[in-house]
């Protein structure tokens, strides 16, 4: 019998956007997946988000996406809530994946706007209403304009929050003005969760009222991000400044290696490989770091570890 971890309202904390360990284009690195999940949960995180941008969701076959959902929920076994990304250009595929998530024991699903046609806000509202009316799990909105070319406007977030099963927003815009407008719009809805993706602004966002972070670096150093979140919640500014400084070193060094649009993801997967946790294989069209970059990454990883 599967164990389901219910979703608190509001949901809070550090929810790592898990990378997807792969052997090749058609095969999950299952032992690596098990090690990675145990590693992340041991760091004290509050949930797990799979099949997001960091999980290379749009590069994975549907077969692997569904398998990842089932295996992740099985390995997690109710220890933390599992959130499943269902973003797709076809609503039917999003709903199929959401059904797999529900059957596997996931706690919620997460959907960015479809990323081919540029939807206006009324169309975007209709799209999310279409999903909400057909989903059996709670739904998080996912604002990712750099990839979808669509912004979920603050007024749209407010409108969609009227649906009982639309329970929160993950914002990866890195736009502080936008996020603060959303928080202001949602002042009367303390049960509606507001998460930020970019870890570089997680602490300040939590200090201003955000509920948590969906931060890629928590794949590598989950305890660091949990401690930073807890320090921000408690207003411990000395600890916030210290730990935020380490997070910024991770960002400026490990995510900026080479001239790649995917350096952030190459850095995380490469570091996890160097830590002996899982494979760093990346689904096409992306590719892992070559030996030269990997050597530099190893030195940077060692430097970060010495500060933890």
Q: What is the pLDDT of residues 134-174, one digit of tens each?
A: 999 999 999 998 888 899 999 999 999 999 999 999 999 99
Mean pLDDT value of segment 69-80: 97
What is the pLDDT, as a whole number, of residue 270? 97
Cα angle 271, 274, 275 (rounded to 5 degrees) comes to 85
Annotated binding site for pyruvate: 54, 214
pLDDT for residue 235 is more than 90: yes
pLDDT for residue 16 is more than 90: yes
pTM for this one?
0.95
Contact 86, 100 (CB under 8 A): no
Q: What is the mean pLDDT of the chain?
A: 95
Mean pLDDT value of segment 221-237: 98
Annotated binding site: 54, 214
What is the pLDDT, as a whole number, of residue 3? 56
What is the pLDDT, as a whole number, of residue 147? 87
Q: Which domains does the chain have, with CATH numbers?
A: 13-232 (3.20.20.70)
Confidence class for position 10, pLDDT limits 50, 70, 90: very high
Contact 26, 61 (CB under 8 A): yes
pLDDT for residue 6 is more than 90: no
Mean pLDDT value of segment 176-198: 96
Contact 75, 3 (CB under 8 A): no
pLDDT for residue 88 is more than 70: yes
SS3 212: strand
pLDDT above 70 covers a percentage of the chain that reads 98
69 torsion bin: left (phi>0), alpha (psi -120 to 50), beta (else):
alpha
Mean pLDDT value of segment 81-93: 97
What is the pLDDT, as a whole number, of residue 1? 45
pLDDT for residue 258 is more than 90: no
> What sign does the dihedral 238-242-247-251 (CA atoms) show?
positive
Mean pLDDT value of segment 4-14: 86
CA-CA distance, 96 to 101, in Å (whole number)?
A: 9
Confidence class for position 261, pLDDT limits 50, 70, 90: confident
CA-CA distance, 288 to 208, in Å (whole number)?
A: 37
Residues involved in catalysis: 142, 170
pLDDT above 90 covers a percentage of the chain that reads 92
């Amino acid at each position: 019998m599967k164990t389901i971890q219910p979703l608190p309202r509001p949901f809070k904390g550090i929810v790592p956007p898990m990378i997807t360990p792969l052997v090749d284009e058609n095969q999950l690195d299952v032992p690596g997946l098990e090690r990675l999940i145990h590693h992340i949960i041991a760091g004290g995180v509050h949930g797990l988000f799979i099949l997001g941008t960091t999980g290379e969701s749009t590069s994975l076959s549907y077969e692997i996406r569904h398998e990842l959902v089932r295996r992740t929920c099985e390995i997690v076994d109710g220890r933390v809530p599992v959130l499943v990304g269902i973003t797709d250009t076809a609503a039917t595929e999003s709903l199929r994946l959401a059904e797999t998530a529900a059957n596997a024991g996931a706690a919620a699903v997460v959907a960015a706007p479809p990323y081919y046609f540029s939807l206006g806000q009324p169309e975007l509202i209709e799209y999310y209403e279409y999903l909400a009316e057909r989903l059996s799990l709670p739904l998080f909105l996912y604002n990712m304009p750099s990839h979808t070319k669509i912004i979920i406007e603050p007024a749209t977030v407010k409108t969609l929050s009227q649906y009982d099963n639309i329970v929160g927003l993950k914002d990866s815009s890195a736009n502080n003005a936008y996020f603060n407008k959303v928080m202001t719009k949602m002042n009367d809805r303390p049960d509606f969760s507001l998460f930020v993706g970019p870890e570089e602004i997680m602490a300040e966002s939590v200090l201003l009222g955000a509920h948590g972070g969906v931060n890629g670096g928590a794949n590598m150093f989950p305890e660091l991000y949990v401690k930073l979140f807890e320090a921000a919640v408690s207003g411990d500014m000395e600890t916030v400044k210290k730990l935020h400084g380490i997070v910024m070193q991770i960002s400026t060094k490990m995510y900026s290696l080479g001239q790649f649009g995917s350096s952030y993801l190459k850095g995380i997967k490469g570091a996890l490989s160097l830590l002996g946790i899982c494979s760093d294989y990346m689904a096409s069209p992306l590719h892992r770091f070559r030996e030269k970059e990997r050597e530099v990454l190893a030195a940077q990883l060692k430097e970060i570890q010495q500060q933890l």
